[in-house]
């Protein structure tokens, strides 16, 4: 039994899990990592905009229950593009989103992570960039993205394996071309307006069902392919929180996403927004002057984000919300979903707990 059980002033450690047989990581593996109480999950086979079936939700709960793991955090209930675009069809998709919130509350879900990034989720140019030590990691080469005509890439993607962004599956190319057309002329202010419309519909329902909504920052935190992106920095985070100023409207603060821009001071943001952070992704990245970045181990010295100071900021803020180690490297010849191997994320968890426990010891000694 973990010695943190019943202690209320600790962060709640979780690990993302993609389902039995989906990524090679099994629930029994996760259960063996000290200090992990739950899995972060989703119904990945349900398209964005559709209502989640209750039987599939219950299946996940029953699987986790067998291993004594909670399913308190869902990542993600994806937002349909029609909502982001502000189309006349958005209300039907918001209605489905609301019904999903109500179902998730019935199985004890406490936090829903989502994002409002047009077309793409996280964007990388190489899923397995080799590092000096022989491990591999997710890599972003900024010039490759800046030099691409997205419509030309849509036409040629089936013959171009160099670019590996989520959403570029061959069967979706026709839809991607259509989405790029729809987003022509859509500004950041349009996206802000459409986000507010969504929040004003969803947050009251989330509050009624005691589920906190945590928006994920844009990854990377700048425009990609000319598409508008708004969750990029401290000022925009504050603007977001003011759209619907309610505790249930909050953040999934990702140190790796925001940390890809050296101008973002992540520990400062943790301290400023601590009471509205419902879910923390802790990840390290090494940034380069030309705008490139590569994901590294969680250890502070290996990257450009001061993970020690990030964890210290959470600790000093009295953070008791949910945390997960974000993307890890691919080490020890593990075959895994890009960024989501068991081994390096397990190491990351122990590094985060090591920092936290040392801060706890210091606090006790200072009494």
Q: Is 330 a catalytic residue?
A: no
Q: Is 248 a catalytic residue?
A: no
Which one of 80, 254, 278, 306 is the catalytic residue? 254
Q: Is 254 a catalytic residue?
A: yes
Three-state SS annotation for the chain: CCCCCCCCCCCEEEEECCCCCCCCCCHHHHHCCCCEEEEEECCCCCCCCCCCCHHHHHHHHHHHHCCCCEEEEEECCCCCHHHHHCCCCHHHHHHHHHHHHHHHHHCCCCEEEECCCCCCCCCCCEEEEECCCCCEEEEECHHHHHCCCHHHHHHHHHHCCCCCCCCCCHHHHHHHHHHHHHHCCCCHHHHHHHHHHHHHHHHHHHHHCCCEEEECCCCCCCCECCECCCCCCHHHHHHHHHHCCCCCEEEEEEHHHHHCCCCCCHHHHHHHHHHHEEEEEECCEEECCCCCEEECCCCHHHCCCCHHHHHHHHHHCCCCCEEEECCCCECCCCCCCCCCCHHHHHHHHHHHHHHHHHHHHHHHHHC
Which one of 114, 183, 216, 315 is the catalytic residue? 216
Which one of 326, 330, 343, 351 is the catalytic residue? 326
Which one of 80, 278, 281, 330 is the catalytic residue? 281
Q: Is 327 a catalytic residue?
A: yes
Which one of 183, 322, 340, 343 is the catalytic residue? 340
Q: Is 278 a catalytic residue?
A: no
Q: Is 281 a catalytic residue?
A: yes
The catalytic residues are: 216, 254, 281, 326-327, 340
């Amino acid at each position: 039994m973990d010695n943190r059980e019943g202690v209320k002033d600790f962060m709640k450690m979780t690990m993302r899990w993609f389902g039995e047989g989906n990524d090679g990581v099994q629930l029994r593996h996760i259960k063996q990592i000290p200090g992990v109480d739950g899995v972060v999950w989703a119904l990945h086979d349900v398209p964005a905009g559709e209502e989640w079936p209750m039987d599939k939700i219950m299946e996940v709960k029953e699987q986790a229950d067998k291993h004594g793991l909670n399913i308190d955090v869902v990542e993600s209930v994806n937002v349909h593009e029609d909502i982001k675009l502000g189309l006349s069809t958005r209300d039907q998709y918001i209605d489905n989103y609301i019904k999903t919130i109500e179902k998730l509350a019935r199985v004890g879900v406490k936090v829903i992570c989502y994002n409002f990034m047009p077309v793409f989720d996280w964007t990388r140019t190489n899923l397995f960039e080799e590092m000096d030590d022989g491990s591999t990691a997710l890599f972003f080469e900024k010039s490759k993205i800046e030099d691409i005509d997205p419509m030309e890439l849509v036409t040629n993607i089936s013959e171009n394996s160099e670019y590996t962004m989520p959403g570029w599956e061959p069967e979706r190319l026709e839809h991607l071309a259509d989405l790029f057309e729809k987003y022509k002329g859509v500004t950041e202010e349009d996206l802000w307006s459409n986000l507010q419309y969504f929040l004003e519909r969803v947050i009251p329902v989330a509050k009624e069902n005691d589920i906190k909504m945590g928006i994920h920052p844009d990854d990377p935190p700048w425009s990609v392919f000319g598409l508008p992106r708004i969750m990029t920095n401290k000022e925009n985070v504050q603007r977001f929180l003011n759209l619907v100023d309610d505790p249930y409207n909050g953040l999934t603060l990702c140190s790796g996403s925001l940390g890809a821009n050296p101008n973002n001071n992540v520990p400062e943001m943790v301290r400023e927004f601590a009471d509205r952070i419902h879910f923390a992704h802790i990840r390290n990245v090494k940034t380069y002057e030309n705008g490139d970045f590569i994901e590294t181990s969680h250890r502070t010295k290996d990257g450009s984000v001061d993970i020690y100071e990030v964890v210290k900021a959470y600790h000093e803020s009295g953070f008791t919300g949910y945390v997960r180690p974000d993307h890890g490297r691919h080490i020890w010849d593990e075959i895994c979903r890009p960024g989501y191997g068991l081994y390096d994320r397990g190491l990351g968890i122990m590094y985060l707990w090591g920092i936290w426990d040392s801060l706890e010891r210091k606090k006790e000694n200072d009494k």
